[in-house]
Structure 1
Amino acid sequence: MKRHLSTINKVVLVSLLVLTNTFSLLSNNYNRTITRQEAADDLEVYFQIIDKQHGNPYQYISRQAFQKLVLDKVASLPEAITFKQFEVLLAELNNTLRCGHTKVGMDKSVVRQDLGLSQFFPLPIKIIEGRAYVDFERSDIPHGAELLSINDEEIPALLPKLINLTVTDGFSETKPLREVESKFGYYYFLKNGASSSFSVSYKDPIGQVRQVIVEGVAGNTMLANNYYRPINMSHERYNRFTNLDAIDSLQTLVLTLNTFQANPDWFDQKLGSRYNEEDKEFDFENLVIDLRINEGGDRRLLNTMYQFLTGRKLNDPSKTYTRSQSIEMKKYVASINGRLKTDESLKGAEDYIQKYFQAPKEGRFEAPLLNWYDEFEGTTDYKGAKFDGNIYVLISGRTFSAAADLARILGQMDNVILIGEETGGAHVGRAANMLVNYSLPNTSSTLQVPVIYEEFVNVSTDNAGRGTFPDYAVQTTFEDLLDKKDSVFEYALELISQRNSFGSN
């Protein structure tokens, strides 16, 4: 009997501790409130911006259905709502558009202040078959342990709530999972609030269920922890924007592109150094291009890459249109394509739209069929020799925007094999170009809206509403997680090894 009472007392103590720590943080910035009317006004402005400016907001939901969701949110507003509660409401609403480039966020000044407080769940996770596993080694909870509950909320009930706060193109099944993995502590904070400690139930790798109190950490520490995972990608190539290294035994070069915010000259220099002018050939036979954590960037780099791989300029024509020839709701504009709002930046954006998008049709303005890679200013041509070997492209749900475009384009080549999982970026068409950032009037919540919708011509429509699928589907298993095995990368090397062996026979 004493044993049972002791257990009950521990549970009560843990619950009180978590509750006390949660309430002690209620004075933080994100808990500032606005009135019901102020929140309703911000939702109305949000709807008007989406309705007037977005390139194709009703690709996956009708205008009537979306407007009803907005009105339902307004009707359910309490008399007062905190900034964080409004952010959750806005994110859930935004999720229904299924546009990965339409993003909402709390006022950056609020976020900056709150990231310094020790109130975030610290542990990065890996989601495998709907379960969350610890993907971290600097914790009392062992690497590979399955999280069962946090503060008495079971993980299978928690994950869908967090996924509803993410954005993705269409119905890609992988991007929301990878998004939650990359910022699990932040999404948990948004949905469930702050706490200086968390009551965690977990099952260790040998199957024993345990209960532990995990101390909260500052938001910056929480985000930094994600740089140490996934543990199976601990090679230095994943800690740089771009990296080039070789596996000499397989005559293989590994080009890791973690972003497209790289200098095009880097490609000329690094790739050119592997070419023997005397023999007129590269010193490697296989190329692995790793795009698994590349969420996009400067599309001009695609042209440079394509020229290296094919010897010709990229031709990827698309049908494009806008729904307005102006920048709408100027009063709330903060920036356009990263440039702060000025009369000059507004005029430049509108001049661009009116130059290309002149043909009115069914409530929109169409541009002629164009290969936009010919139109981009400042595109650097690759001057070296082309690579004729075998190419293996690694993709994941985090492969998004320009990186997803590259995967789609390369996947159509005969000497390219895609390995991994469905990309997070749309295969057929998406709104992504000319990104206008707005600030809502009462909460200062940020809203990023893509003005131009683009539908690719040289693709099959079989993948409409989804990302680009791999030729070989490979995902991390629980066993891979425990063994710290990079199963996707190793699968590519195994294919190369088999091909080399077959060729030698």
Structure 2
Amino acid sequence: MKHNYILLLLLFFSSSIYSQNIPVLTPIQLKQDIDSLVKYLDETHINPYYRYPKQLFQQDVIALKKRITKDLNILDFYVRIQPLLGKLEDGHTDLYAPEDSYNILDLFRLPYHFKLNVTAPFITCEKPFRGFNAEIPAGAEIITINAIPAKQIVDDIVALNTGESRSFRAEYGAQKFNFYLGVLYKMNGNYTIRYKHNNQLQTIFIQGARSKQITDKFNESADTTSSADATPLPCDSYYLQIIDSIAIIDFKSFSWNCFKRFSDSAFTVIKKAGIKDLVLNLIDNGGGDSDVGDAFFQYILDKPFTQYDKVVEKNSRLLKARLNKHLLSRKADASDSALLAKPNGSIDTVHYSTIAIEDNPLRFKGSVYLLINGQTYSSAADFAQCFKHYKRGLIIGEETGGLIKSYGDIVSTQLPNSKLRLIISSKLYYNIGATDEDWKGVVPDITATKDKALSVALKTIRDNRKVAR
């Protein structure tokens, strides 16, 4: 009884902490936000109910509004409204998690990285945060956290993420694991972990760490060494290393930030070194600007190409608002004026032309290997499909989370009272080679988990070299 009494006290104080300094809204305001979300969705998205029937969605909306009978802060409101969008299974239609509001509380965090999966083992410990002792061994299967089963935790986190597959949503949710432990279960600083390792069940109590502790430990233990066979180039989104005369380019995102400088530098190094094998690593690349992909293909393709076959787009008030915002810094051209003149709700189909190959003395003509996984998404998945369609090389890893026929080109707005940021897909993209039935990702030529994909690529290259001798 004493243990239960202490636990109730902890939950009480934790709950009261979560209610401090966070905006609170009345039921009327909350229901207005729900109605606004539905309105924005119907006005802007081509077909938000392509996987989840509209009738069921409307029933869910009615049921949610009935359950809202008291004031809620925006964290608790987010937990209730976000599953509506999760059911639509469109990764580009989403409410941004209110992490800024959560971080204001400066709560404790469980200082470990975890992998989430929709099948057993549901939660696996990867490693502690940098500078913290590994009290839970790497690879341990988490059975419960504060008596909550791992499967329930993963299911709850999946419900609070959007995306075309449950596995993608679980992996993506792992990036905000502590946020979800906080908003879902009000965990704050005291974690009783039951885990299994080497077929042995263990229970351990872990005291959480505040953000400042994590930052300080991170700085104290920062790794300043570099590999002797690596050739780092000064760019946040891209990195080149050379192993055994094999060039490996890691893409963290499709960003224009120093892209041209990096690409020219990297392919200059590759050309001078006489490298014949190149690995492009898109594992965990969530995408970015697809024009970056077009620019990169100029370094590895030698014939005209396009990443997209066609795009179906819906004209809407929010799409025009986005354009008008951009026009504050430039003059409208003919296409801008044409879009602004189109009736809201009208739909257009645009077919893409191929992109001409430019003169490029740094063009790579050797063998290329592409690494992908379930977190290869959006523009990164589009790149992978183009790579596959034009048969540029071997693809290794897992099926991409991003589909080859998918919704995208987000427009954004805010819910009027909670100010939660809402993004909505405005277009339906058909990647090159995609058909009406292709609601699927890019399938690799060789299957490998994300932690093994690079090793498989390197072994494949070395085996091919032996055969060629």
Secondary structure of the residue aligned to 1:71 is helix
1:240-262 per-residue CA deviation (whole Å, 9 max, x = no partner) reads 420111112xx311011111114
Please tell me the residue identity of whatever aligns with 1:120: R
How far 1:399 moved relative to its partner? Answer: 0.9
1:223-247 per-residue CA deviation (whole Å, 9 max, x = no partner) reads x98xx9xxxxx99979942011111
Name the structure, 1 or 2, with higher relative contact order (CA <8 Å, separation 6+): 1
2:243 corresponds in structure 1 to 247
CA contact (8 A) 1:147 1:155 kept: yes
Q: Does 1:85 align with 2:76?
A: yes
CA distance in 2, matches of 1:345, 1:46: 29
1:15 aligned to which of 3, 7, 10? 7
How far 1:176 moved relative to its partner? Answer: 1.3
Q: Does 1:74 align with 2:65?
A: yes
Q: Does 1:289 align with 2:280?
A: yes
CA contact (8 A) 1:36 1:79 kept: yes
Please tell me the residue identity of whatever aligns with 1:475: T
1:403-451 per-residue CA deviation (whole Å, 9 max, x = no partner) reads 1111111122434111111211111x22212x32211111111101232
1:406 aligned to which of 383, 405, 415? 383
TM-score w.r.t. the length of structure 1 is: 0.79
Q: Does 1:444 align with 2:419?
A: yes
1:256-308 per-residue CA deviation (whole Å, 9 max, x = no partner) reads 111111422321232033225xxxxx711211100012111121221122121
Return closer, same or farther for 1:93/1:345 CA change in 2, 3 Å cut-off.
farther
1:271 aligned to which of 267, 271, 274? 267
How far 1:64 moved relative to its partner? Answer: 3.0
Q: Does 1:418 align with 2:395?
A: yes
2:442 aligned to which of 448, 468, 493? 468
Secondary structure of the residue aligned to 1:119 is coil
CA distance in 1, matches of 2:333, 2:426: 10
CA contact (8 A) 2:18 2:186 kept: no
Q: Does 1:162 align with 2:139?
A: no
2:136 corresponds in structure 1 to 141
Secondary structure of the residue aligned to 1:25 is helix
1:119-143 per-residue CA deviation (whole Å, 9 max, x = no partner) reads 3333210235432121114342232
Q: Does 1:127 align with 2:109?
A: no
Secondary structure of the residue aligned to 1:187 is helix
CA distance in 1, matches of 2:24, 2:49: 31
2:406 corresponds in structure 1 to 430
CA distance in 1, matches of 2:308, 2:390: 16
Equivalenced residue count is 450
CA contact (8 A) 1:308 1:382 kept: no
Please tell me the residue identity of whatever aligns with 1:432: G
1:153 corresponds in structure 2 to 148
Please tell me the residue identity of whatever aligns with 2:172: E
1:369 corresponds in structure 2 to 351
Return closer, same or farther for 1:343/1:112 CA change in 2, 3 Å cut-off.
farther
CA distance in 2, matches of 1:220, 1:56: 46
2:365 corresponds in structure 1 to 388
CA distance in 1, matches of 2:319, 2:282: 35
Please tell me the residue identity of whatever aligns with 1:26: Y
CA contact (8 A) 1:356 1:367 kept: no
CA distance in 2, matches of 1:57, 1:498: 47
Please tell me the residue identity of whatever aligns with 2:348: E
Please tell me the residue identity of whatever aligns with 1:466: K
1:481 corresponds in structure 2 to none
Q: 1:85-234, aligned counterparts within 5 Å? A: 85-106=76-97, 110-114=101-105, 117-127=106-116, 129-131=119-121, 132-137=123-128, 138-139=132-133, 140-168=135-163, 170=164, 172-205=165-198, 207-218=200-211, 221=214
CA distance in 2, matches of 1:188, 1:236: 39
CA distance in 2, matches of 1:347, 1:59: 37
CA contact (8 A) 2:108 2:210 kept: yes
2:252 corresponds in structure 1 to 258
Secondary structure of the residue aligned to 1:136 is strand
Cα RMSD (Å) of the superposition? 3.5
Secondary structure of the residue aligned to 1:448 is strand
Secondary structure of the residue aligned to 2:112 is coil
Q: Does 1:458 align with 2:433?
A: yes
Please tell me the residue identity of whatever aligns with 2:350: P
CA contact (8 A) 1:118 1:219 kept: no
1:337-369 per-residue CA deviation (whole Å, 9 max, x = no partner) reads 8x9x58737996996383499699xx6421331
TM-score w.r.t. the length of structure 2 is: 0.84
Secondary structure of the residue aligned to 2:192 is strand
